[in-house]
Copies of this chain bind each other. A is one copy, B any other.
């Protein structure tokens, strides 16, 4: 099966290139009866949109979504939801000079190897422009998981270069901390530790002036996820989330809970003891003391917050000169003068949230199908 679809029960299929006419996404399998308007989509699309500050690309896109199907009188009907988002600020001429050059760190060479000469403009299908369709689909997934289990997905920037935020409990971070500074101005870096956020902003600006770029780490937290989502053995929710996140451009690493740190630890330092909680009623809720496991055990959600960390590489497009070759293999020098984020992290956050929400929506529907009621 080709690679432009994701999910089994909540199934997202996208199409579109960076410099073609439009991005389109079809979401199939969404339950009927969920209120949905273009305003729901606009909110997340706005968070992803370029051109919001000097820290991100200056490309201007209104990213106005049009719902083509699957919604009637502002409620989902159960039939596939198609959303169209036109590309506007394409400036293909920026890319004429790159027609025969392989940009280091980009997919030009690998797409050529796979497909032969395709659409070279702005990376074509490999461009992060494609993620706008995922964010639209993620907005629908968010509505679904909110109704299904009060599910909330929130991401933030944990580090940029060597600057690491100080966050005691990822599950306690709020959307306000991520999106706003104390003076209510936009938190353009999306780091909830506002002291670190200011340092990150300075670092990104200095890197930009140096015609360079910088990497970082994003965190995504999913709250109120019920225990029991995920499929043994291949479609563990851990596996599907990892696939979802590694499908986002520039992702180089993913870890859950203690992650790579557990490689240096003993079992007695990693296992989270189970405890029983009562809330006044006779009902005992089982949870763990601590969340070193990151909310997933045996590939299935444990009921604790799902916490994952994602390493994002520095933007590959650099205005400075880089050594490379032409398509024919001749030595060359390339400078990429398009409009590119010097640091991908701020805009990575809503994209990672969207993919996480899509996986949760999918696995909740899968759970309901197989296990939802007693039979």
A95 on interface, CB distance cutoff 8 Å: no
Q: Which residues of B contact A260 (CB under 8 A)?
A: 217, 252-253, 255, 260, 311
Q: Which residues A246-280 have CB closer than 8 A to chain B?
A: 246-247, 249, 251-276
> How many chain copies does the complex carry?
4
A130 interfacial by beta-carbon distance below 8 Å: yes
Q: Mark A229-254, 1 if CB is under 8 A from B, else 0.
A: 11111111011101111110101111
B273–A323 CB distance below 8 A: yes
For the complex, is A31 an interface residue (Cβ under 8 Å from B)? yes
Find chain B residues with CB under 8 A from A367 CB: 114
Q: Please judge, given known A-B contacts A266-B314, A324-B273, whether A13 and B28 are in contact too, CB under 8 Å.
A: yes
Residues of A in contact (CB 8 Å), total 160
Chain B nearest Cβ from A309, distance in angstroms: 8
How close is A261's CB to chain B, nearest CB, in angstroms? 8
Map CB proximity to B onto A331-375 as digits: 1 under 8 Å, 0 otherwise: 100000000000000000000000000000000011111111111
CB proximity of A351 to chain B, nearest CB, Å: 12
Q: Which 3 A-B pairs give the minimum distances between C-beta atoms?
A: A107-B298, A3-B231, A369-B369
Cross-chain pairs A/B with CB under 8 angstroms, 22 sampled: A1-B28, A2-B11, A2-B366, A9-B370, A14-B80, A78-B115, A104-B271, A109-B297, A113-B228, A114-B367, A123-B298, A213-B267, A217-B263, A234-B243, A234-B247, A252-B257, A252-B259, A254-B255, A266-B314, A267-B317, A275-B323, A284-B329
